[in-house]
Chains A and B, each alone.
Chain A
């Protein structure tokens, strides 16, 4: 199952970054697919990206909200919030575990052998909510210049995916941009190297501590249609689920935690007692499958 998940992650990375003509055009993709939301963290200024980044779009819409209202258009991010809200309502944080290219990169980095692997301190996990509320929503909205325009705070000062996927390739493709590299770029470079370096020692360090998109999807984990279910009668509290969990959750103590990325390693690799199962809208998926087959047999 873990191999299937890895293959899906790789497939989605190439699907959302499928513009192979960029080395010749030396520019980003400007076709109609840019209307499609990338469910995971994938910078839309990456020359290979064919989708838009929800975090980047929300910030861009919010920072120009005054201008937009003055011109009679009411763009406040409802299309983008609606899109990621639908994804979150249906699948919770499944996107992080199965479809996010930056998540995949961190998981691969964690496979590099190191002298010690570290757990992430719990208070650090709250930073991502701060990022979501302030860096993605509040600061772009209220901290404006003399023209009433804000800044995309998360993209501008933090986002390591933007530096890696868009910064390096665009600087390589467009030499004119290199003259503008300054302190801001070095700041982003610092964050990118910090997150990538620490991913070798702590699995998905950026996802656990800083990713605002993960924080948003995580809010739906307890109410989403797709959820993991604990069968308390079968659970022996052995802690095997905690040992394999990349997000450091002991599933039986914190069912459908906001940190859970539904990678299902606890269900498929760890639990020997069938205490964990996957449910869709409260119904076990196996039950849904059997109901379907019964319906097919009767029709």
Chain B
């Protein structure tokens, strides 16, 4: 039982870390930057940039 609980606990560690990263991104207004980038045609992606 203890081993099982430990296994579940370990799974929360990466999830928490990335959740914090996600929140930091929102706090520094990164989604707005992502949106601005995604609204423009990426010439590099097409292969002509």
Residues of A with Cβ closer than 8 Å to B?
27-28, 30, 32, 34-35, 43-45, 52-53, 56-57, 60-61, 68, 73-75, 77-83, 85-86, 88-90, 151-152, 155-156, 159, 162-163, 166-167, 170-171, 177, 180-182, 184-185, 187-189, 220, 223-225, 281-282
Contact = CB atoms under 8 A, between A and B. Distances in A.
A134 to B, nearest CB: 16
Given A52-B37, A78-B28, A80-B25, 18 more contacts: A28-B39, A45-B46, A53-B45, A57-B38, A60-B37, A61-B34, A79-B24, A81-B18, A81-B25, A88-B14, A89-B11, A89-B14, A156-B45, A162-B46, A184-B48, A185-B46, A189-B47, A223-B10
Contact of B15 (A79, A86, A155, A189): A86
B2 interface: no
B35 A170 contact: no
A181 B48 contact: yes
A68 B34 CA distance: 13
Contacts of A34: 34-35, 38-39
A89 B18 contact: yes
Nearest to B7: A282
Interface in B29-48: 29-31, 33-35, 37-39, 41-48
B22 A83 contact: yes
Nearest to A184: B47
A52 B19 contact: no
A60 B31 CA distance: 13
Give chain A's interface secondary structure class.
helix
Nearest to A151: B44
A45 B46 CA distance: 8
* Chain B contact residues, majority secondary structure: helix
B23 A82 contact: yes
A152 B18 contact: no
8 contacts: A45-B42, A61-B34, A73-B28, A82-B20, A152-B44, A166-B42, A185-B46, A281-B7
Contact of A152 (B20, B38, B41, B45): B45
Nearest to A225: B11
Contact of A30 (B39, B44, B48): B39
Contacts of B11: 89, 223-225, 281-282
A280 B4 CA distance: 12
A266 to B, nearest CB: 22
A75 B30 contact: yes
A171 B48 CA distance: 10
Nearest to A27: B41
Contact of A170 (B25, B37, B46): B46
Given A34-B38, A35-B35, A57-B38, A281 B22 contact: no
Nearest to A55: B45
A74 B27 CA distance: 10
A88 B14 CA distance: 9
Nearest to A168: B46
